[in-house]
Amino acid sequence: MQVAVITSHFFMLLNIAIKVVENEMNKILWLLAGGLLSPLLLTKMVLAKTVELTSPDGKIVVAISDDKNPSYRIEMAGEVAITKSSLGLRFKKSAELGEGFTISKVKRHSVDSSWQQPWGERKTVNDQHNEITVTFSHTREKSNHFNVIFRAFNDGVGFRYEVPKQKGLAGDIEITNELTAFAVSDANNSTAWWIPSRGWNRYEYLYQTSNVESVDRVHTPFTFKYPSGLHISIHEAALVDYAGMTLQQQRGGILKADLTPWSDGILVKKKAGFTTPWRTIQISKDAVGLLNSDLILNLNEPSKLEDTSWIKPGKYVGIWWGMHVGENTWGSGDKHGATTSETMRYMDFAAEYGFDGVLVEGWNIGWDGDWYFNGDVFNFTKAYNDFDMKAVTKHGHQKGVKLIGHHETSGNVTNYRNQMNDAFALYQKHGISQVKTGYVADGGNIKRIDKNGIVRKEWHDGQFMVNEYLHNIKQAAKYNISINTHEPIKDTGLRRTYPNWIAREGARGQEYNAWGSPPNPPEHAAILPFTRMLSGPMDFTPGTFDMGFKGLGDKSDRPQTTLAKQLALYVVIYSPIQMASDLPRNYLANMPAFQFIRDVPTDWAESKAIAGVVGDYVAYARKERNGNDWFVGALTDEKARNLTLKLDFLDKSIRYQAQIYRDGKKANWIDNPYEMIIEQKEVSYQDVLMLPLATSGGAAIRFKALN
């Protein structure tokens, strides 16, 4: 029972314990003390109010209260998920929306609907939730009301602030602090998987595993597990025109919103009458439950693009790995990768083996010298002399293969913006419908030139760049171009609203196995699904067939997976575009294994995570969008294990040929990464497969429908 008694400054204090139930009692009681006291002792009593919101299945309960400060807490099946946590905003020029506010109104609403994705992990997404809009008010004249809208789903909670235009909050508004907190009840004994925020390497850090209490500043999705096994992941949805939210621990277990600032220190700049992105808390009794959630997508707006038929999922190869392993260069010279003849050679390979596109990096002027620092000189419409865009796109057209464009900005976004429309127009003219962008620059070092000609340096995840990335997506849409953003802002589900935002990087990808120091460790791909991947598709670029490009000797300096695990990645790490990232010759040298990459689709009717423990292993089953085949990918960390795979996800009326690619008996990533067994078996939904996974191994299966 929450009771607070507040007296206005000249009235007497009176302690009365009353459980306040919404709508049953007016929260402000005026009491005459038995008529014995003079009207001067009239007591204004304000009772703290708590309102509750329950998920459709009744298991999740959100309690929103105005006891001292606006706050919320969340329980799942009687267990505390988030303990009492603050809500509120602070501004540069007006008084805080927080302390002293009380609940003055609530409005409720429920939704039970579904919608369809043009591409995705599943075709139909169900959106079932209960919503409450809680109005917090203050007795003062100005800056005296705001709403918090909560939605409770069966798999978590989202909430956002809605600040109406009002006296004291009119015109330009600068946010200096978001008071939102996520308090963890047993931080010392809860395990978290996280990457640090506000660092030079953006989102490309190795995941750390620690108790919650030892984290300082972290990116979201921030995933942790209570000792009971309850899994939580904190993130945000629909990050539009606002700073990215990272988290900073305040004191044991209180993770507070830590918005990434502008170069001038302000966190967020808004016009009066604004809403914030949704703060999201996914909750599940086990790790796998986190994976089977559409909460983030459901909190995004429906598509703003009416016609999405030009947005095509697919597989691609590219003039890419050669640069990362040092066989080619982006810049001009003897080893220049992006030549007309090399592009045609890749297009022939792509056509022969069923790929849709060929990515070509290093085609445009600006790569010479140290391209990391060439942001000022990149030209997005001028090709090197040895790259003939017209000839290669014509060749591709004849072969049924598209050129995939590339815009590396090296972090000078003004230079890019000045050329953006011309650059897209050029690509559209040549029939290019997908572009990979890049923003290689250290965190906090994105260069922009403001309207006064002054150079400013911004973070990749501050409000300026949040807007810049989206501007790029919206412009691209005008030219029917889809974007795959590297060094991106994290995903917050905006692919629902802008389905041409087809993929992004935003974590350590496969490229770290070429030059990363260290490369991605065996546990990396067993952590990603439960962290980064909760936010949306990733262009991870799997498919390394030659682990020995630097020799197999130094284990600390090469890909730390088996070959079968490379295949599993195509199913585990979701993206509507998947790259076969190795050199064509390495695929030609192992055609039986390559067959799986040729067969695996990238667009799904249904997806189900079927097993997994964060950082240990994971298994997914996905059904192709346009057919009856199912695919499974399973992978493990450094520990070999046997996975028992029940096939009960398969359609009951269909028999399947299981085409299994799994680690050989003696396979292990350290000294036998290639040994693989490829076998076929006829199976049905009643069968169970035993899959031995080697150290950092995996399994990939196509269930080919036979009837």
* Region binding Ca ion by CB under 5 A among candidate stretches 11-19, 424-432, 481-489, 687-695: 481-489
CB of 193 to Ca ion, least distance (A): 20
CB of 350 to ligand NOJ, least distance (A): 18
Helix (H, G, I), strand (E, B) or coil at 283: strand
Nearer to ligand NOJ by Cβ, of 438 and 673: the residue is 438
> Residues 49, 315, 336, 486: which binds ligand NOJ (CB under 6 A)?
486
**Angle at alpha carbon of residue 391, lines to 385 and 395, rounded to 5°:** 140
Residues in the chain, total: 707
The partner in contact with residue 31, picked from ligand NOJ, Ca ion, none with C-beta cut-offs of 5 to 8 angstroms by kind, is none
Nearer to ligand NOJ by Cβ, of 156 and 438: the residue is 438
Q: Is the dihedral of CA 10, 15, 21, 23 positive or negative?
A: negative
Distance (Å, whole) CA 514 – CA 540: 13
# residues near ligand NOJ by CB under 6 A: 8
Nearer to Ca ion by Cβ, of 50 and 472: the residue is 472
> Rule CB under 6 A: which of 450-479 touch ligand NOJ?
none
Helix (H, G, I), strand (E, B) or coil at 593: helix
> Residues 408, 461, 582, 637: which binds ligand NOJ (CB under 6 A)?
408
* Region binding Ca ion by CB under 5 A among candidate stretches 454-462, 480-488, 577-585, 607-615: 480-488
CB of 516 to ligand NOJ, least distance (A): 11
Mention every residue, 6+ apart, whose C-beta is less than 8 A from residue 530: 193, 223, 231, 233, 287, 290, 291, 612, 614, 615, 618
Do residues 96 and 88 lie in contact, with contact meaning Cβ atoms separated by under 8 Å? yes
- Rounded to an integer, what is the distance from CA 644 to the centroid of its chain? 29
CB of 441 to ligand NOJ, least distance (A): 10
Distance (Å, whole) CA 620 – CA 156: 21
Distance (Å, whole) CA 166 – CA 146: 10
Q: Is there binding between residue 438 and ligand NOJ (CB under 6 A)?
A: yes
The partner in contact with residue 637, picked from Ca ion, ligand NOJ, none with C-beta cut-offs of 5 to 8 angstroms by kind, is none
# residues near Ca ion by CB under 5 A: 1
List residues bridging with 211 in a β-sheet: 191
CB of 693 to ligand NOJ, least distance (A): 28
Distance (Å, whole) CA 558 – CA 548: 7
Q: Alpha helix (H) ranges present in 435-500?
A: 463-478
Distance (Å, whole) CA 595 – CA 573: 19
Nearer to Ca ion by Cβ, of 396 and 519: the residue is 519
Distance (Å, whole) CA 41 – CA 13: 10
CB of 440 to ligand NOJ, least distance (A): 5
CB of 240 to ligand NOJ, least distance (A): 24
Helix (H, G, I), strand (E, B) or coil at 103: strand
Binding mask 222-261 for Ca ion (x = CB under 5 A): ----------------------------------------
Nearer to Ca ion by Cβ, of 342 and 408: the residue is 408
511 annotated active-site: yes
CB of 321 to Ca ion, least distance (A): 14
Binding mask 174-213 for Ca ion (x = CB under 5 A): ----------------------------------------
Q: CA nearest 483: which of 552, 537, 554, 430? A: 537
Provide φ and ψ at 158, rounded to 5°.
-130, 145
Here the tokens at position 665 are 């008996």
Helix H or strand E segment including 419: helix 413-429
Nearer to ligand NOJ by Cβ, of 342 and 511: the residue is 511
Positions of E strands within 285-415: 314-319, 357-360, 402-408
Q: Is there binding between residue 377 and ligand NOJ (CB under 6 A)?
A: no
The partner in contact with residue 361, picked from ligand NOJ, Ca ion, none with C-beta cut-offs of 5 to 8 angstroms by kind, is ligand NOJ
Nearer to Ca ion by Cβ, of 486 and 623: the residue is 486
| Cα distances (angstroms) measured from residue 20 to each of 16, 50, 376, 674 | 11, 7, 62, 66
> Rule CB under 6 A: which of 75-104 touch ligand NOJ?
none
Spot the catalytic one: 408, 511, 523, 624.
Answer: 511
> Residues 440, 613, 640, 670: which binds ligand NOJ (CB under 6 A)?
440
Do residues 146 and 138 lie in contact, with contact meaning Cβ atoms separated by under 8 Å? no
Binding mask 337-376 for ligand NOJ (x = CB under 6 A): ------------------------x---------------
> Rule CB under 5 A: which of 98-127 touch Ca ion?
none
CB of 533 to ligand NOJ, least distance (A): 17
> Rule CB under 6 A: which of 304-333 touch ligand NOJ?
320
The partner in contact with residue 438, picked from Ca ion, ligand NOJ, none with C-beta cut-offs of 5 to 8 angstroms by kind, is ligand NOJ
Distance (Å, whole) CA 616 – CA 526: 6
Nearer to ligand NOJ by Cβ, of 243 and 319: the residue is 319
Distance (Å, whole) CA 5 – CA 17: 9
* Region binding Ca ion by CB under 5 A among candidate stretches 136-144, 485-493, 561-569, 697-705: 485-493
Helix H or strand E segment including 18: none
* Region binding Ca ion by CB under 5 A among candidate stretches 2-10, 479-487, 495-503, 515-523: 479-487
β-strand 434-438 against 402-408: which pairing, if any? parallel
Nearer to Ca ion by Cβ, of 523 and 539: the residue is 539
CB of 487 to Ca ion, least distance (A): 5
Distance (Å, whole) CA 662 – CA 660: 6
Q: Is there binding between residue 204 and ligand NOJ (CB under 6 A)?
A: no
Do residues 504 and 313 lie in contact, with contact meaning Cβ atoms separated by under 8 Å? no
β-strand 314-319 against 357-360: which pairing, if any? parallel
Distance (Å, whole) CA 23 – CA 174: 35
Residue ranges binding ligand NOJ (CB under 6 A):
320, 361, 408, 438, 440, 486, 505, 511
Catalytic machinery residues: 511
Q: What residues line the site for Ca ion (CB under 5 A)?
A: 486
